[in-house]
Structure 1
Amino acid sequence: MTLTPVRTERSSAELISAEDTTLAHNYHPLPVVVARAEGVWVEDVEGRRYLDMLAGYSALNFGHRHPELIAAAHRQLDEVTLTSRAFHNDRLAGFAEGLTQLTGLDTVLPMNTGAEAVESAIKIARKWAYEVKGVAPDRATIVVADGNFHGRTTTIVGFSSDPVARTGFGPFAPGFRVVPYNDLDAIEAAVDETTAAVLIEPIQGEAGVIIPDDGYLTGVRELTGRTGCLFIADEIQSGLGRTGTTLAVDHESVLPDMLLLGKALGGGIVPVSAVVARREVMAVLRPGEHGSTFGGNPLSAAVGSAVVDLLATGEYQRRATALGDVLSEGLTALTGKGVVGFRSRGLWAGVDVDPRIGTGREISERLMREGVLVKDTHGSTIRIAPPLTITPEELHSALASLEKVLG
């Protein structure tokens, strides 16, 4: 059989057409074909430049190709990339030590994707419920919040309230109780002797950057401690500097029993996720009961360690706080001028646009034509989450483009 040579130089239109023919249609991307990237900027195959105000849904908190992260990856590529956990490797201990020091928890379960981290936490919580709490076999329940987004595996979409994510993928696993977000009374009513854990996002990202009331996270911590169940905080999008603190739970000085990290932990280079937990919780896992071929591989551990080192300085948290004020002030100035409301914390915002002006998708397409990349979520809401390396001037430029497309 003669293979058709792969073309290396094709136009955006040709590449989009090829994707449409050969890829599963599980995404609806904006019609921009990225070929190069540096810092907060990306460039398409025709050489047009765009300011990246999405940052891979927080996977690129440190921008594209951050020199320290790229250097760490290059060094490791010259040594060893994969051993599997059948053997030890010389990078994993340092990664785990750094992550426990950064988070204040004790032990690390390295995985690859955010959904894997969530699935792992569900398994750990259930096993803890049976072995430590004394819940009857196969009766453990987990309380989750309406509007959640924890991933797209069948278990996770089974407790999603988004019909697009959920419809057509059943039957679903039992054992989850969905309550309204930001409602402590609802959590308390749902918790009983079978409850293994309460699993929530400290800020709901996919729902539109929904920020709970002050005291909510403190209340969840108190409630779970008092009722004898675990508090699992999904910080896959909100963590690692995005909101102006290392973790979003840090805004209330709360320490969960299990913390879920991903996205930015891989520095925009490799997929890295982790469950970080109290030692006595993680101790329920024994050899052979859970694992991952790629989880904790030397390359991901080297990059993850470099990410931890960047955060340990506090520089990026301070940048997110200061530039978050610039973002909030800019969106406040646009409120009533096409913006009907917004929610922001650090360099993360959900912006509700007057639906008479356009849907979130339409606003995103208009911004793309102005050289700014964002992504819509539900209805007329767009999400803004630039790399934490953005400058005030670049942020002001993006806000000016938003003002233009709203006008």
Structure 2
Amino acid sequence: YGLIGFDHEIIYKIIDHPYFQRLRRIKQMGLADYVYPSANHTRFSHSLGALYLLKRSIETLKWKGVDISEEEYKAASISILLHDIGHSPFSHSLEKVFLPLGHEEVSLKLMHRLNEEFDGELDMAIQMFLGKYDRRFFHQLISGQVDVDRLDYLTRDSFFTGVAEGVIGYDRIIKMFNVVKDKLVIEEKGVYSIEKFLIARKIMYWQVYMHKTSIVADKMLNILLNYILNEAQEKDFNLLPERLKVFKEIDDVEAKIIEFTKIDDSDIIFSLKNLVNSGDELINFLANGLLTRKLLKIVLTDSKIDKKDINALVSNSKISKILDAKTKEKLFITGSENNDIYNSNIDEEILILSKNGDIEPVSKYIPFLTNMYKSVKYFGIYI
């Protein structure tokens, strides 16, 4: 986006806060660099980018005559800046491994902590984040179907992966923003840009975010950390750094959240380097595999996978023949990945402002959208 600046002193204070600086050390796309080597950008840069696009959006709406107070502008800026502050190391790869909460729940709890530090200055921002502020378009800009979060991550992720199909016309979309009855709408002449945006998001999900190699790497890391924290022997557990051990040693969720703000990707990499020294076959196999990119195999299909379907593949694997039964059982995983491109719920639909002033759902302008609502892929991971 070039040189960017922000309009409120509290934004710079939040950026300087340790909670936010931690995002410098959390990769935006988890382990996607196993497939796309340049995908090493961070949640820090994404959050700043989303904040910049929020600023551009507010400027556009004001120019079109939408009444937005300085307090509302500041609150929306704070809300989008902090929307990802609750992410785990390696982003979605380790969701709910260290805390029994999703990243949005953790983000909200950290917002409340920051609100105490800043003497209630985040009150309105929290309401916008939750969708409880009475002017709904602010929440739609922060967490809607055409929000500045998605506009930034599609632009950023397509650039760093080199996947041209993910490129969107974010500038054109923002220029088509308007507000009617406190709801965000897209002017009719922006319909084709929205169509391109939705198609790009679908392609990016299957080609990048749900790439089979990324799925395998994510599952391997997830299995490893869950096993270490919940099942491993003490000598193997002790190979973890103190900052990770604490998640097994304390039960209080609020206390865990404080510790959570101290960990990032570097703690996981350090752990992997230690865990290759484990005498536990499963730990050793997974840690070595992740460090050297010797990953498990995967079958990705449109129908559910039964264990019997790939038993033949497993039995023919050379590595399978030297691992014990317990290890092999842990390394066989089935599941599914959903690609929810568009939410057709009446309260969530993208709204189009027609040339004659009517407000209509975007599905009336893009007929094939009904076939893009949801798609599912089933996977079987094995040795």
| TM-score (norm. length: structure 1) | 0.29
**Which is richer in helix?**
2
RCO (CA 8 Å, sep 6+): is it higher in 1 or 2?
A: 1
| TM-score (norm. length: structure 2) | 0.30
Structure label with greater radius of gyration: 2
